[in-house]
A = this chain, B = another copy of it.
Amino acid sequence: MDSTSGTGASPPRIIIVGGGFGGIAAARALRKAPARVLLIDRTNHHVFQPLLYQVATSILAPEHVAAPIRHVLLGQGNTTVIQAAVTGVDVEKKVCLVDGVPLPLPYDYLVLATGVQHSYFGHDEYAEYAPGLKTLTDAVQFRNKILGAFEACERTPVPRDHFELLTFVIVGGGPTGVELAGAIAELARQTLAAEFRRFDPASLKLILVEAGPRILPSFDEALAAAATAKLTKLGVDVRTGARVEKVDAEGVLVQGERIRTGNVFWAAGVKGSPAAHWLGADADRAGRVKVLADCSVPAHPEIFVVGDTACLEEGGKPLPGVAQVAIQQGRYVGRLIAGRLKGKPAPPPFKYLNKGNLATVGRNFAVMEAFGIRTAGLFAKLVWAFVHIQFLVLTSSRIGTLYRWSWKVLTRQRLARLIIEPGSTRGARSPLVPDQQHAVNGVDPTSTTTARS
C-alpha cells in the first residue's frame, strides 16, 4: 500500500482515532489527500485542554474551549467524523473495533491519537475522591465541586466543618496543578470575596502537593522559583518533596500528615491510553507506544501513533506530552501519508521544534521560556494569552474567550460561575441508541485529548 494513487481502485481508507490536538492536526494535513478519512472520537468535540482549568474555575464556559469536531473539519469533503468509542484494533485484519458499530471498520492507514489517562500509581481507587482534569465533563464537575464547597460554607456556618470544606488539595506541581492553584486562589480571594456574608472565602486553605524537589520540573529552576513565590503570595501552601500516601473519603495523607478535606484534585501522573494494548506493541513504563522516528509502529508501516500516547525518543529522551508535540506529530504523519499516497519519497524523520514552555499563575503572572528568553511576570502572561488565543481552533471561541478575559480584567468578575448538576442519565439517552461508553470521572480509557505532564 506504499504508493496507491487510487486510480481505478476505491480510495484508501485512513482511520484517525482521537479528536484532540494530534488527531485534528493529522486530519487537517490530509484534507486534500486522495483518500477517505474517518475520524473517531468518543466525544463530539475537540477540547483545548490547556484552558480546561479556566472552565473548572469559572472563568470560561465549556463552549469557549471546545469545538464540535465535525464543525472543525467541515470543509474537508474527504473526511467523515463519528462519535464512538474504539475498543480495539486487529492489526492482522486491519480493522478497528468500535462500540456501537456492528461491523469492524477496515483501514489502510491507522493513526492513533488517543492521549493519556490519569495515573494513580496503581491506586485506581483514588479516582473516586481525587478526580483529574482531562475532559469537559471533568471541568464541569470540578467547577461544581469548587463552587459547591463555598455554597456549603454559606449554608451551614460551622467553623469546624469549614476547615474541611474550605481546604483544597491539589496533587501535582506541573503546569496543570500550578494553574489550577493560582486560579482557585484568585477565585476565592478576589471574585468571591464580597459575595459571601457568613464566612470569608479568603480563609480557604489551598495546598499544592508535589512529590519532587520543586514545582514545574520541566521549567528552568529560576522560573520555577518565581512561580513558587507568586503562588505563596496568592496564599497557596506549596509543599515540595511531599509524597501523597493515601487518598480516601476523609482526605489525604501526605508525608504522614492527615489533611481532612473533601476537595482533592489530581494533576499528577498520567499513563498512556490502551493504544499499546490494542496493537500489542512495545510500550514504555507509562504505557505509551514506542514508535519509530516517523511515528510509525515497528513492523507496521501503515500504523502511526502520535501525541501523548506515543513515546518518541529524541536525543535519548522521550518527547514530553505537550500540545505542540502532538500537533507537530499529527501534522507530520498526515503529510507523510498524503505523500505516500501520491508516490512521493518518505520525508526525513520527525523533528520536534520546541517553541517554548509557558505556565500561568493567576491573572497577571506567567513563566515563559521560549526563543532563548526566560521571563516571569506580566509580559509572560500577555504572551501566554496571545499564544492560547491563537491556538483556539474556532474564531468564535477566540472572540468569546477574549471577551470573557477582558470582562474579567475590567471587573474581576467570573461569569461562568454556575453549578449545573448532572441529571439522571436515563432521560438523556435514547433507549433505542446502543449504549455508549461514558467517561468515568478521571479515567478515560480512550482519551483523545493531549495532556501536559
CB within 8 Å of B: which residues of A?
Answer: 43-45, 61-63, 66-68, 70-71, 74, 80-84, 98, 100-102, 127-131, 136-138, 140-141, 144-145, 147-149, 151-152, 154-156, 161, 164-165, 194-198, 249, 260-263, 394, 396-397, 399-400, 403, 407, 413, 415-434, 438-442
Whether B396 contacts A423 by the Cβ 8 Å rule is: no
CA distance A302 to B186 in the complex (A): 42
Whether B433 contacts A81 by the Cβ 8 Å rule is: no
CA distance A67 to B100 in the complex (A): 38
Given the interface pairs A156-B101, A403-B403, A428-B141, the reply to whether A45 lies near B418 with Cβ below 8 Å is: yes
Given the interface pairs A74-B195, A197-B80, A433-B152, the reply to whether A424 lies near B400 with Cβ below 8 Å is: no
Which chain B residue has the least Cβ–Cβ distance from A422? Answer: B422
Which chain B residue has the least Cβ–Cβ distance from A64? Answer: B61
Given the interface pairs A100-B156, A161-B432, the reply to whether A427 lies near B441 with Cβ below 8 Å is: yes
Whether B80 contacts A155 by the Cβ 8 Å rule is: no
15 contacts between A and B (CB under 8 A): A44-B418, A62-B418, A71-B413, A83-B419, A100-B152, A129-B431, A140-B423, A145-B428, A152-B430, A165-B433, A263-B430, A400-B415, A421-B439, A424-B440, A424-B441
Instruction: Select A68's contact among B165, B418, B434, beta carbons within 8 Å.
Output: B418
Residue among A66, A81, A82, A101 with most chain B CB within 10 A: A82
Whether A151 contacts B263 by the Cβ 8 Å rule is: no
Whether B431 contacts A249 by the Cβ 8 Å rule is: yes
CB neighbours (8 Å) of A438 from chain B are 421, 423
Instruction: Select A418's contact among B136, B260, B407, B416, beta carbons within 8 Å.
Output: B136
Instruction: Select A421's contact among B74, B137, B260, beta carbons within 8 Å.
Output: B137
CA distance A136 to B82 in the complex (A): 27
Instruction: Select A155's contact among B84, B151, B152, B413, beta carbons within 8 Å.
Output: B84
Which chain B residue has the least Cβ–Cβ distance from A442? Answer: B427
Which chain B residue has the least Cβ–Cβ distance from A260? Answer: B432
Whether A399 contacts B394 by the Cβ 8 Å rule is: no
Whether B61 contacts A420 by the Cβ 8 Å rule is: no
CB of A131 to closest CB in B, whole Å:
4
Whether B83 contacts A423 by the Cβ 8 Å rule is: no
CA distance A359 to B331 in the complex (A): 48
Residue among A67, A74, A136, A432 with most chain B CB within 10 A: A432
CA distance A145 to B147 in the complex (A): 27
Residue among A62, A164, A407 with most chain B CB within 10 A: A62
Which chain B residue has the least Cβ–Cβ distance from A408? Answer: B396
CA distance A207 to B400 in the complex (A): 35
CB neighbours (8 Å) of A425 from chain B are 421-422
CA distance A84 to B396 in the complex (A): 36
- Starting from the known contacts A400-B400, A423-B439, 11 additional A-B residue pairs (CB-CB under 8 Å) come to A44-B147, A63-B63, A71-B195, A83-B155, A148-B429, A152-B434, A156-B434, A165-B432, A422-B422, A422-B425, A423-B441
CB neighbours (8 Å) of A63 from chain B are 61, 63, 415-416, 418
CB neighbours (8 Å) of A155 from chain B are 82-84, 98, 100-101
CB neighbours (8 Å) of A140 from chain B are 420, 423
Whether B400 contacts A423 by the Cβ 8 Å rule is: no
CA distance A89 to B422 in the complex (A): 28
Given the interface pairs A71-B417, A137-B421, A425-B422, the reply to whether A154 lies near B430 with Cβ below 8 Å is: no
Whether A429 contacts B145 by the Cβ 8 Å rule is: yes
CB of A252 to closest CB in B, whole Å:
13
Whether B431 contacts A262 by the Cβ 8 Å rule is: yes
CB of A339 to closest CB in B, whole Å:
25
CA distance A421 to B137 in the complex (A): 6
CA distance A430 to B419 in the complex (A): 14
CB of A24 to closest CB in B, whole Å:
15
CB neighbours (8 Å) of A418 from chain B are 44-45, 62-63, 66, 68, 136
CB neighbours (8 Å) of A71 from chain B are 195, 413, 415, 417
CB neighbours (8 Å) of A136 from chain B are 418, 420
Whether B83 contacts A198 by the Cβ 8 Å rule is: no
CA distance A438 to B422 in the complex (A): 9
Question: 6 smallest A-B Cβ distances: which pairs?
Answer: A262-B430, A422-B422, A131-B427, A262-B432, A141-B428, A61-B63
Whether B423 contacts A138 by the Cβ 8 Å rule is: yes
